[in-house]
């Protein structure tokens, strides 16, 4: 609990119990801040917020006299993180802040870091919610806005955490959700064309990604993937000490002698002229990069290989390479891969497995980057034996229109695909047609628990749907 004049320059001393930007979440004595993120202007919900119990409102427009204090500022978006930081007594300065950005690998790297450090001392924020050893909760966004974010930092501190490993998405950087945070360590995984609907161009997308590295402390560290084509741009933007990882020996940490096996990867890393053997349960070449970034982070924090080697075997990222084994005679995997690069890398890995055929269930999100849809269609049919195109968070778009865009360039060249619009039915179809030693891959959603359909959000989880369909198939077999 704080008084308003402790949070902002005013003589008004009403008590503030919490800070909200969504009027639906307002509770008695909350401060309502009317942020404006382009498509949604919160000023139109002031009366609703007051009705629900808001004790004060911060605005940038003239809204007339209300029955609670109204504080006018130049830009509520800018002042939101400052107020939130003050309300929670600057929790971001009490944690070692680790930010991970990139098109692919954010969830994997940030989760690996939490596992290697220990969830008793490290909190995680990202696509899979926010968590530490004491709790695991959902979030609405990969990188939430400040009214949520600083509260999460505060929860971590109260539960004994010293570190925060968080995904920092390009949208959050573009909208300034984290611009008040100075990072101790920032990590770059890769950058490929993505989210152009939000950023307008690849150039803008790269610039927004680079903001994280500008926000790194001077005596902090920027850990960069030297093999990424945008490495030089990220390096140029880096405010902290630059460390690199990759396949060549001129990196601070480099890897070699890679053996990719079903369900595990063996490789060696070299750091400060010392070589270490890695036996990782995180399969695939992409996870060699991800784990290398995480290991370099731990070394930078002062940990030795002996400190962390026993934790490598415990690495697991929910919704990433999630193998589902219910005793069936085929393989089933759920993964979050949804970008052309991520899908390509995953299917390249799958080709190395001792499988017969690959069956992929996939869609593309509505009201998002349309430019990549045709590329996704091409990548999928060229790298799998059979594809089933379905919906994936269509939002305001018609799923049929999205799928038509996905197949636009492959209609006349490929016949190894079909369309099953309903995602549940598409998953069931894939499971039903799988034969012994085939692999079914359900891609795009990972462990997310929702589907966004027009004006509603329904509960939906790919892992649960796969398990349900496998169980139904097993039941049919057992009753014959």
CATH code, 279: 3.40.1190.10
pLDDT-derived band at 282, boundaries 50, 70, 90: very high
Mean pLDDT of all residues belonging to the chain? 95
On the question of pLDDT at 369 being above 90, the answer is no
CATH number of 27's domain? 3.40.1390.10
Same domain (yes/no): 215, 343: no
The pLDDT assigned to 210 comes to: 96
Answer yes or no: do 331 and 394 share one domain: yes
pLDDT band at residue 65 using 50, 70 and 90 as cut-offs: very high
Same domain, 34 and 100: no
Residue 151: band (very low, low, confident or very high) from pLDDT cuts 50, 70, 90: very high
Residue-wise pLDDT for 169-200, tens only, equals: 988 998 888 989 999 999 999 998 665 556 66
| Residue 331 resides in a domain | yes
pLDDT in tens, 429-478: 999 999 999 999 999 999 999 999 988 999 999 999 999 999 999 999 88
Residue 150 lies in a domain: yes
**Do 158 and 54 belong together in one domain?**
no
pLDDT computed for residue 194 by the predictor: 64
CB 474 within 8 A of CB 328: yes
Read off the pLDDT of residues 204-238 as tens digits, 9 standing for 90 and up. 999 999 999 999 999 999 999 999 999 999 999 99
Is the pTM higher than 0.95? The answer reads no
Q: Which residue, of 312, 336, 359, is where some domain finishes? A: 312
Question: Predicted confidence band at 40 (pLDDT cuts at 50, 70, 90)?
Answer: confident
Say yes or no: 132 and 156 in one domain: yes
Shared domain for 254 and 140, answered yes or no, is yes
Kindly tell me if the per-residue pLDDT of 26 is higher than 60: yes
Q: Are strands 322-323 and 331-335 parallel, antiparallel or unpaired?
A: antiparallel
State pLDDT tens for residues 76-129: 999 999 999 999 999 999 999 999 999 999 999 999 999 999 999 999 999 999
């Amino acid at each position: 609990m704080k008084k308003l004049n402790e949070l902002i320059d005013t003589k008004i001393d009403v008590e503030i119990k919490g800070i909200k930007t969504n009027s639906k979440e307002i509770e008695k004595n909350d401060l309502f801040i009317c942020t404006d993120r382009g498509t949604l202007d919160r000023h139109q919900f002031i009366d609703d917020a007051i009705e629900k119990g808001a004790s004060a409102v911060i605005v940038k427009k003239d809204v007339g006299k209300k029955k609670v204090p109204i504080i006018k500022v130049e830009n509520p978006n800018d002042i939101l993180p400052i107020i939130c930081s003050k309300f929670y007594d600057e929790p971001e300065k009490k944690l070692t802040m680790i930010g991970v950005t990139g098109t692919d690998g954010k969830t994997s790297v940030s989760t690996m870091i939490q596992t290697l450090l220990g969830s008793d001392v490290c909190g995680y924020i990202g696509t899979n919610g926010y968590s530490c050893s004491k709790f695991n909760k959902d979030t609405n966004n990969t990188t939430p806005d400040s009214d949520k974010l600083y509260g999460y930092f505060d929860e971590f501190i109260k539960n004994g955490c010293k570190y925060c490993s968080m995904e920092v998405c390009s949208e959050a950087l573009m909208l300034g959700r984290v611009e008040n945070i100075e990072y101790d360590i920032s990590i770059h995984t890769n950058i490929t064309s993505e989210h152009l609907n939000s950023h307008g161009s690849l150039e803008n997308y790269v610039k927004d990604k680079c903001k994280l590295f500008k926000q790194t402390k001077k005596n902090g560290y920027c850990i960069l993937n030297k093999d990424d084509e945008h490495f030089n741009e990220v390096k140029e933007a880096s405010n902290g000490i630059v460390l690199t990882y990759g396949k060549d020996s001129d990196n601070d940490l480099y890897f070699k002698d890679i053996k990719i096996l079903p369900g595990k990867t063996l490789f060696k890393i070299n750091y400060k002229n010392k070589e270490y053997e890695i036996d990782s349960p995180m399969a695939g070449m992409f996870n060699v990069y991800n784990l290398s970034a995480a290991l370099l982070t731990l070394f930078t924090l002062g940990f030795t290989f002996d400190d962390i080697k026993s934790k490598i075997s415990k690495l697991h990222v929910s919704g990433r390479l999630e193998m589902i084994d219910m005793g069936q005679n085929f393989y089933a995997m759920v993964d979050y891969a949804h970008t052309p690069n991520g899908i390509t890398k995953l299917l390249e890995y799958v080709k190395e497995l001792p499988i017969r055929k690959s069956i992929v269930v996939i869609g593309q999100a509505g009201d998002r980057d349309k430019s990549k849809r045709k590329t996704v269609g091409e990548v999928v049919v060229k790298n799998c034996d059979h594809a089933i195109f379905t919906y994936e968070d269509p939002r305001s778009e018609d799923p049929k229109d999205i799928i038509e865009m996905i197949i636009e360039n492959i209609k006349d060249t490929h016949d190894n695909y079909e369309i099953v619009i309903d995602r549940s039915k598409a998953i069931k179809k894939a499971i039903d047609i799988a034969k012994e030693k085939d692999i079914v891959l359900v891609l795009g959603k990972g462990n997310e628990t929702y589907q966004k359909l027009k004006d509603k959000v329904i509960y939906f989880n790919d892992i649960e749907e796969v398990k349900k369909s496998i169980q139904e198939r097993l039941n049919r077999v057992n009753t014959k």
